[in-house]
Amino acid sequence: MTSDARSVEPEDVEAGQTDRSAEAPSSSEGRLSRWSKARLLLALICSHVLAPYASARVVIRFQLQGDVEKFYAVQTAVFLTIGLVLAWRQLVCLPGRRKVLWISGLLVLWLGVSFALLAVASHSEIPAFILGVLWAGGSLWIVWTVWAWSLFRSREVLVGTVLVGLLAVPFWVFVEATGLRGDTRVEFAWRKPRQTIEIAPESGPVESTGAVLWPGYLGTARNSVLEGIALDPDWNSRPPETLWRQPCGLGWSSFAVTETTLFTQEQLPAGDCVTARDLETGRLLWAAPDGSERYRSGLGGDGPRATPALHHLTDETDAGTTRLVLYTAGPKGIVRCLDAATGKDIWKTNLMELYPGEELVHGVCGSPLVLNDVVIVCPPAENGPCLAALDQRTGRPVWKCASSWRASYASPALMTICDRPQIVLHAGPGVISVDPETGTPLWQYEWTNEFDNNATQPLQVQDDPDDLFVATGYRGGIARISIRRKDDGALQVSETWSTRRLMRTRFSSVAQFGDAVVGLDDNILCAVDAATGKRLWKKQRYGHGQILRVADLLLVVEEKGSIRLLKPDRTGPHPVGDAFPALDRKTWSHPVLVGDRLFVRNDRQMVCVRLPLLSPPAGN
């Protein structure tokens, strides 16, 4: 044998061992050192816990608002980089079977993480298994980024990158995040093209609006209570009937209604619009954009929130002549007076210019209140005023509330308390009452949550209108307060009872049935004793929907869009009919019932449902 074939120099052996050691710090049997195991564990935390959470925040924000949340984007990049460095070349020289086990384990764990993340943080009309698989495939690039160079060589990494990219396509093509639900979970749905909303060809000015049947937000008294209608509770024998269904623009505005026309606000291609629709068909008659940039609030949903208010405005030159007008507040603070027949502006003003300050997170939601010769609005300025009065005819300021309290998301209401008319508003820090003529504060009561995010209307107690039920969501709860007149004529407020653990209403109303106060407590229907605030019962999950008291019945619009009828009392909710599927996705807008016709909408559709009656309505 020659010297070349006879032996291998020690230096060559050491060099080969050094090369293999640099490539994968594992022994010849494929065992990992403690140091390698520690590195791989940390890499696993980065790839399956930290980076997925940060990346999910980025993806959801992008789908909802079209921009990138930089803080979480940077976090994603940092966690991926750390994981990549920790896992670099650690497993590339494992035996084939060991490598297959590692790959299988990573994929199974990734599926588990995806399903767990969606179960905790999302709600979907898509079956959970299908959404979980699509999400796992769409975000598999996270795992691949960290582990590709640990398991594979360059050519394999290139091929795998292409495959992982293809797996991401179905999620982005077929699934979209459509917003947050009331419990702050992300709502996913199948991606669908938006239906075209067109003005009916034969449309023009409304020839005759007829009498006003529902003047605006929550009805005449703004308390979501309707008397004089006897609904038939036997929905099994006489089920509700869908009369029409129409696509609508984005937004959470409710309706003002006349004998012939529905008025609301919705975001159309032309912008944030006040719209008129035919009562019999739901077809769009006219749309009047407010001229501002379209309002976007991806987490809470885009589009207008406030509900128009109908009013007969007397002609200045002829006191006997009136015309029907609409007062509206857009999400960016544009307040308008429009002719109800044509949609033409009579005047327009901007609250952000009259009372400068930062916008509220979810925009201006307070619906205008028409009173005497003024219209009451809620400017969003952070240092107040939370209430202001504008001249009905011109829009010029008349008075502003002398308080530094900021408005929130509730609307002003006119109440008579202690024999004195007053405007009551649940503002950011709490409930405030002002004189309707001057805006002078009469009393205030601090009752809020950790966000100063209050949207529930205060409700006067049935047998004692000088007492109010005041509720709010999140960590808020409900309180009963009492207003009394002192010897000097001033009004004084005191708390009768309160609880932070019940009736956390978010943006729905409360209703009183005898000695029981009923409302949605973080998506579960709940009742408390009107005299003591003690819990009576809590059952039936309806999501963060809306309620309307119709005589002795409670009409519930579930967050998922179905409607239900109940007859609650202090012993329980007592459902009296099966659920009727009015809409099929998140529904936050307040329902309107006129005669036997129920009008409900969300940010995609509006529907008219005929409800069975026991007898003809006595009036609204």
HSE-up of 71 (CA within 13 Å, CB side)?
3
pLDDT at 520 over 60: yes
Q: What is the pLDDT of residue 183?
A: 83
Q: Which domain holds residue 14?
A: 9-190
**In angstroms, rounded to a whole number, what is the distance separating the alpha carbons of residues 519 and 248?**
28
Within 10 A of 323 (CB to CB), how many other CB atoms are there?
14
**In angstroms, rounded to a whole number, what is the distance separating the alpha carbons of residues 592 and 262?**
10
Q: Is residue 420 part of a domain?
A: no
Within 10 A of 428 (CB to CB), how many other CB atoms are there?
22
494, exposed or middle or buried, with CB in 10 Å at 0-12, 13-18, 19+?
A: exposed
Nearest to 176 by CA among 314, 254, 286, 63: 63
The answer to whether residues 210 and 258 touch, using CB atoms and an 8 Å cutoff, is: yes
Q: Under 8 Å CB-to-CB from 545, ≥6 apart: which residues?
A: 508, 520, 556, 557, 558, 559, 560, 587, 588
Using one digit for the tens of pLDDT, what is the confidence trace for 159-193?
999 999 999 999 999 998 888 888 888 889 898 87
pLDDT at 428 over 70: yes
Q: What is the pLDDT of residue 93?
A: 84
Q: Is residue 332 part of a domain?
A: no
pLDDT at 10 over 70: no
Secondary structure class of 600 (helix, strand, coil): strand
- Residue 368: DSSP 8-state: P
* 9-18, 33-42, 292-301, 338-347, range with the lowest pLDDT: 9-18
Q: Is residue 32 part of a domain?
A: yes
Nearest to 250 by CA among 610, 604, 511: 604
- Across residues 334-358, what is the average pLDDT? 96
**In angstroms, rounded to a whole number, what is the distance separating the alpha carbons of residues 274 and 4?**
92
Q: Is residue 181 part of a domain?
A: yes
For every residue of 272-311, which 3-state class applies, written as one string? EEEEEEECCCCCEEEEEECCCCCCCCCCCCCCCCCCCEEE
| pLDDT range class, residue 205, cuts 50, 70, 90 | confident
The answer to whether residues 218 and 593 touch, using CB atoms and an 8 Å cutoff, is: no
| DSSP string for residues in 101-139 | HHHHHHHHHHHHHHHHHHHHHEEESS-HHHHHHHHHHHT
Q: Is residue 27 part of a domain?
A: yes
The strand pair at 546-550 and 553-557 is best described as: antiparallel
The answer to whether residues 134 and 191 touch, using CB atoms and an 8 Å cutoff, is: no
* 35-39, 123-127, 529-533, 561-565, range with the lowest pLDDT: 123-127
The answer to whether residues 145 and 160 touch, using CB atoms and an 8 Å cutoff, is: no
The answer to whether residues 550 and 232 touch, using CB atoms and an 8 Å cutoff, is: no
The answer to whether residues 147 and 43 touch, using CB atoms and an 8 Å cutoff, is: yes
Task: Please give the tally of structural domains in the chain.
Answer: 1
| pLDDT range class, residue 617, cuts 50, 70, 90 | low
Q: Provide the whole-model pTM.
A: 0.87
Secondary structure class of 519 (helix, strand, coil): strand
The answer to whether residues 552 and 585 touch, using CB atoms and an 8 Å cutoff, is: no
Secondary structure class of 597 (helix, strand, coil): strand
Q: Is residue 88 part of a domain?
A: yes
| DSSP string for residues in 226-245 | E-S--B---TTTS--EEEEE
Q: Is residue 129 part of a domain?
A: yes
Nearest to 98 by CA among 46, 151, 45, 145: 151
More confident residue, 506 or 411: 411
The answer to whether residues 192 and 178 touch, using CB atoms and an 8 Å cutoff, is: no
Q: In what order do the strands lie in the sheet with 397-400?
A: 369-371, 374-377, 388-391, 397-400
The answer to whether residues 476 and 447 touch, using CB atoms and an 8 Å cutoff, is: yes
Residue that the structure tokens 């049997």 belong to: 29
The C-alpha torsion from 396 through 398 and 401 to 407, rounded to 10°, is -30
Question: Quick one: tokens of 590?
Answer: 């307040």
| pLDDT range class, residue 451, cuts 50, 70, 90 | very high
Using one digit for the tens of pLDDT, what is the confidence trace for 103-140?
999 999 999 999 999 999 888 889 999 999 999 999 99
Question: Quick one: tokens of 582?
Answer: 């009015």
Nearest to 304 by CA among 255, 251, 351: 251
HSE-up of 336 (CA within 13 Å, CB side)?
26
Name the amino acid, one letter, at 64. Answer: L
Helix or strand run (H / E) with residue 17: helix 10-23
Helix or strand run (H / E) with residue 606: strand 605-610
**In angstroms, rounded to a whole number, what is the distance separating the alpha carbons of residues 103 and 150?**
11
> In percent, how much of the chain has pLDDT > 70?
93
Question: What is the rounded average pLDDT for all residues in the chain?
Answer: 91
**In angstroms, rounded to a whole number, what is the distance separating the alpha carbons of residues 80 and 191?**
29
Q: What is the pLDDT of residue 19?
A: 43
